[in-house]
Structure 1
């Protein structure tokens, strides 16, 4: 059975419940899409936790080399990595007991989705979290 994203109503509920969003592949360069999306989400009230082993801080938040290094609970793991590199991220998202595994627009990997689903996570693929948040929660959370 091919993968299907959750309903828009379910995605809305996931976003409303989320506080901490770990962004894997968040760039420290302001002109990169990952940076722009994370900054917009931060301005909407989400706590952005950067996962980038090559930076110390991004958007005023401490960077972590891996999801496992984050010392607090993570609600959404938002991924900006190429599709072929997301299986280990899914495995780690399961290990840290995140609630949602979210692959940004253009990123799709059925194996990663199966791993995350089997670990109890809701999975969203090939959708931009900023766009979904703007459509589903235009006035904020």
Structure 2
């Protein structure tokens, strides 16, 4: 079952340090751009992933093509993609050994969530960490 209680979600956010943001945008009017900035302000290392802007930089971080390019351990894969594109991202998250996948507001894929859980990943669906962090009182991570 996806994480749904405040306590479960807060524990995930407090244990995480590195977040891969799939669907990151370099456009300030896009929600993923603002969410990435918010996560960075709370002390997370956020690695942007977007094949359309690979090699660019967003909020000072190099943009990667896909999760397979990342060498760092990823705690949460935050997915800013349409629901029909989630399955491929979840499969990559499983392959790289991420601890959790987080599907943004309006993003729901029950089958992908079940695959992630079967592989041992925690799953959050249809939520936004930039909303949940202040709402749950998640402490800022010390650098």
Kindly indicate whether the alpha-carbon contact (under 8 Å) linking 2:2 and 2:122 is maintained by their aligned counterparts in 1: no
**What is the CA–CA distance in structure 2 between the aligned matches of 1:89 and 1:25, rounded to whole Å?**
10
* Partners of 1:6 and 1:123 within 8 A in 2: no
State the SS of the aligned residue for 2:26. Answer: coil
Q: Which residue of 1 aligns with 2:93?
A: 93
**Alignment pair present for 1:114 and 2:118:** no
Looking at structure 2, the residues matched to 105 and 85 of structure 1 have their Cα atoms a distance apart, in angstroms, of: 14
Match of 2:29 in 1: 31
CA contact (8 A) 2:13 2:138 kept: no
The residue correspondences of 1:21-100 to structure 2 (distance < 5 A) are 21-55=19-53, 56-100=56-100
Alignment-derived partner of residue 17 in structure 1: 15
SS in 2 for 1:40: helix
CA distance, structure 1, for counterparts of residue 82 and residue 118 of structure 2: 22
Check whether the contact 2:77–2:93 (CA below 8 A) recurs between aligned residues.
Answer: yes
Flag structure 1 segments of 5+ consecutive residues without an equivalent. none
- Secondary structure of 1:27's counterpart equals coil
TM-score, normalised relative to structure 2: 0.92
Distance 1:100 1:87, change over 3 A: same
Deviation string 1:4-43 (CA, Å, 9 cap, x unpaired) is 5332111111111111000000111011001001111111
Structure 2 unaligned spans of 5+: none
RMSD: 1.2
| Structure 1 consecutive aligned stretches of length 4 or more whose deviation exceeds 6 Å | none
